[in-house]
Structure 1
Amino acid sequence: AWPAALAAARRLAAHPEAYAGILCTVDLAAEPLDVYHSLLELAPPRLDLLLPHANWGNPPPGLDGGPPGRHRPGATPYGDWLVTVFDAWWDAGRLRTRVRLFQEIVALLLGAPSRAEAVGLSPVAAVVVETDGAIEQVDSLRSAYRGAAETGLDVFRHSFDTVLRHPGIAARQSGERALGEECRACPVGRVCGGGNYVHRYAPGSGFGHASVYCADLERLIRHVAHRLEGTVRIAT
């Protein structure tokens, strides 16, 4: 599969007007710098490093789910992986590609709003219209449980204003109020934003928790903040 993907990316690189970037899911079995440098060879204008979809009931490889919550101390294999790539990106001396997760965290630390659902408190700005006209929440919710993305609404009978009032959508429009108590009290909570909404799910109690990647996100955010110190004034 990789040779075919490599060939396709190289063809795209020859047509920058059609080349938006590359999505890459973090794989702990792959050495982070090898992954990063191999992707740079494809000259992506933007790189999205994504945490595998997981939750407290179905934890990702390398992490134990346990009861939902902000666990300290704890292993941070995904945070460590991302920190390694961040340092290579930050220390490059020139911008070879935009890495959305890193840029979002830097922007949030400087007081700007987020533009991605992985971090920050900005309201969700997307729904999915299926080919049959059904309106659903973002596809990633399907990783939580069967039917999680369904709204029961469609474009034939419902307006998008009605969609905004759906409980699942409304819950993601409330910013800090939608976070659990431990996230609201967390010193990096406004930057982390509880993490990706999908990763907060726990069977039986829903999405009102910290991310299953809580410790990893805090590890990455604190590291980015440390690298920013002395360079710019960080928002508090």
Structure 2
Amino acid sequence: MRQYVIYTRVSTKDQGRSGLGLEAQQRDIKLFLNNYSEVPWEIVGEYQDVQSGGDDDRPQLRTALEQCRRVGAELLVAKLDRLSRKVSFIAQLMDDPKLRLRVATMPQADKFQLHIYAALAEQERDFISARTKAALKAAKARGKALGGLRDATMKRNVAIQHKAALEAARLLQVIAPMRDAGKTLASIADALDNMQIATSRGGKWTAKQVSRVIGRGGPAIPPSLSPRAPDDKS
């Protein structure tokens, strides 16, 4: 029987109290277990931290890893960034011969692909951060010459564009595996509706909307290595 230890993480106490982020993680884990896991399977432990992904000294993660090593279970996380946002930490875990890692949103990914994804995601986070800071700096400079109202508008536009890019990257974690499997845009749209994943405006999906999300996902690279950026900066 396949055994799993589930680990989830949110980044702030508010998220921990309100459940923000947890529902999505639990949904992705459930989808993996019902559609991709070997059967029969068993959950032998569940752990959750309310802590930043940049801090690798997390008590619940430490306990989860210890249980995995002790009983031979696989550590199951919804997304790689829920485990850590550092490539070095993820690489260290992958080198542990007593530890096996499974990422729900990348059910077919092997260790090499997970390592590449972690490196690409870290690079993309750094780029997005630098791009946002540069855009805000430029907007502020223009605002000094053109007035405070324009400055506020520019900042708001940058924030909206940044949010849209992160939302598209999050959706790619669900869309990309279906795209890589050769599914049509229309069938992907139907699948998203069946999973009750709403569009940004709360409506139903169309093939054109799926195409738009894929187009926002960044430069073309091999599908199996396609980076899927995290949905927050926690």
Return the TM-score normalized by structure 1: 0.29
Q: Which protein has the bigger helix share?
A: 2
Return the TM-score normalized by structure 2: 0.30
Between 1 and 2, higher relative CO (CA 8 Å, sep ≥ 6) is seen in 1
